[in-house]
């Protein structure tokens, strides 16, 4: 399976990542990627950028080194209602909105409470992708989450960083989510969750899970720029209008 895009990439603006936009775009070009998304953490993350950072992203060019650069955010889920840490005015300017449960932002809870929080986030019309749903810090009813994502047309991420350098214990959860995604026809996004330019486009461990579970490449967004573009348009069409 060939991957042409990485839509989960951090820069120095996240406060705990170590490469610039130019460096990650250059790394993406070197890997042969056609598209990336700059998705720094929302402002509630300790050390993260001010909300104004996201208003000003469009000073960046549309492409660098021949790689299309989407302007986005990895928003932090703040409560069990699925509220994000960026206001709707700024979310409306984003080309892609990732959302995830993070320590210091989302409250910990029981499996039922965590599941309700993730389901409510899936139902948030601003959210395009749920990132690292297999995070064992927030145990969930994985079938209920995958079923809801499939029904709402929201993609779930298989996060390569979770399987290599962060969120220890994610493997069995990611594996089960992938198995369920195949069963329910849920869209999958492969994400490097890169915090240093050398890991942009690295999907090695995540790709093993996708292959092991026999997921059709047509259900993996990263296999086609056209599929990503179509998917994001469908998500934009579901955003609230003012």
Q: Is 146 helix (H, G, I), strand (E, B) or coil?
A: helix
pLDDT of residue 118: 98
- Cβ atoms of residues 131 and 8 within 8 Å: yes
State the Cα–Cα distance between residues 230 and 234, nearest whole angstrom. Answer: 6
In the prediction, which pLDDT does 207 show?
Answer: 98
The phi and psi torsions of 6 (rounded to 5 degrees) equal -130, 110
> C-alpha 163: how far from its chain's center?
15
Locate 155 and state its tokens: 């993609």
For position 241, what pLDDT does the model report? Answer: 83
Q: How far is CA 206 from the centre of its chain?
A: 13
pTM of the model: 0.97
Q: What is the pLDDT of residue 242?
A: 61
Nearest to 102 by CA among 156, 43, 155, 175: 43
- Backbone conformation region of residue 127, classed left if phi is above 0, alpha if psi is from -120 to 50, else beta: beta
Domain architecture of the chain: domains with CATH: 5-236 (3.20.20.140)
The CA distances from residue 211 to 38, 84, 117, in Å, are: 27, 32, 29
Mean pLDDT by 10 residues, the chain (242 residues): 97 98 98 98 97 96 98 98 97 98 97 98 98 98 98 98 96 98 98 98 98 97 97 96 72
């Amino acid at each position: 399976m060939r991957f042409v895009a990485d839509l989960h990439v951090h820069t120095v603006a996240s406060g705990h990542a170590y490469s610039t936009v130019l460096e990650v775009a250059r790394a993406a070009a070197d890997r042969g990627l056609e598209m990336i998304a700059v998705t720094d953490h929302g402002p509630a993350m300790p050390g993260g950028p001010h909300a104004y950072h996201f208003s000003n992203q469009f000073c960046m060019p549309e492409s660098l080194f021949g790689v299309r650069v989407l302007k986005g955010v990895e928003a932090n889920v703040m409560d069990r209602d699925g509220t994000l840490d960026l206001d709707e005015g700024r979310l409306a300017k984003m080309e892609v909105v990732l959302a995830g449960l993070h320590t210091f932002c989302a409250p910990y809870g029981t499996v039922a409470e965590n599941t309700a929080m993730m389901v409510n986030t899936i139902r948030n019309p601003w959210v395009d992708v749920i990132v690292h749903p297999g995070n064992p810090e927030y145990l969930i009813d994985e079938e209920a989450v995958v079923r809801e994502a499939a029904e709402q047309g929201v993609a779930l991420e298989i996060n390569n960083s979770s399987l290599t350098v962060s969120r220890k214990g994610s493997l069995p959860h990611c594996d089960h989510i992938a198995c369920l995604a195949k069963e329910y026809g849920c869209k999958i996004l492969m994400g490097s969750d890169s915090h240093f330019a050398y890991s942009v486009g690295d999907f090695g461990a995540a790709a093993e899970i996708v292959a092991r579970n026999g997921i059709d490449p047509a259900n993996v967004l990263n296999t086609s720029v056209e599929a990503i573009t179509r998917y994001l348009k469908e998500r934009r069409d579901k955003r609230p209008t003012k």
